[in-house]
Amino acid sequence: MSTIFSKIIAGKIPARIAYEDDQCLAFHDIQPKAPVHVLIIPKKEIERISASTEQDQPLLGHLLFVAQKIAEEQGLKESGFRLVINNGPDAGESVAHLHVHLLGGRALAWPPG
């Protein structure tokens, strides 16, 4: 699988990095939907959440932990933030590489689109 996200992980495409460790990379979305819009992606190529396996459980938990850490760093702890994982085209998934959207910095409507 070679997606724009795998190219960002490999350093072939530049990104404004918000966080990186051995398991994941987080970067600011180039078309943000909120003042803070960060994508948290696993370095392991997993097409989408429905393609994850039982062995991926620690990694999936790590992505959520990193999301809350970035939210705090971005000053969203008190005001709140939203995490979104799209799964498939009907859900709005545009890149077939599992990713968590961290959105905040303004009031977010419910229900979403």
Looking at residue 62, which CATH number applies to its domain?
3.30.428.10
Catalytic residues: 99
In a domain, 109, yes or no: no
Pairing of strands 100-104, 36-42: antiparallel
Between CA 19 and CA 63 the distance in angstroms is 11
**pLDDT for 9-18, tens place per residue?**
999 999 999 9
Cis status, amide bond into 35, omega within 30 of 0: no
User: Whole-prediction pTM value?
Assistant: 0.95
Mean pLDDT calculated for residue range 39-56: 97
**Does residue 63 form part of some domain?**
yes
The CA R_g of the chain, rounded to the nearest whole Å, is 13
Q: What range defines the domain where residue 98 resides?
A: 4-104
62 domain-assigned: yes
Q: Given a cut of 80, is residue 20 above it in pLDDT?
A: yes
Cβ atoms of 9 and 43 closer than 8 Å: yes
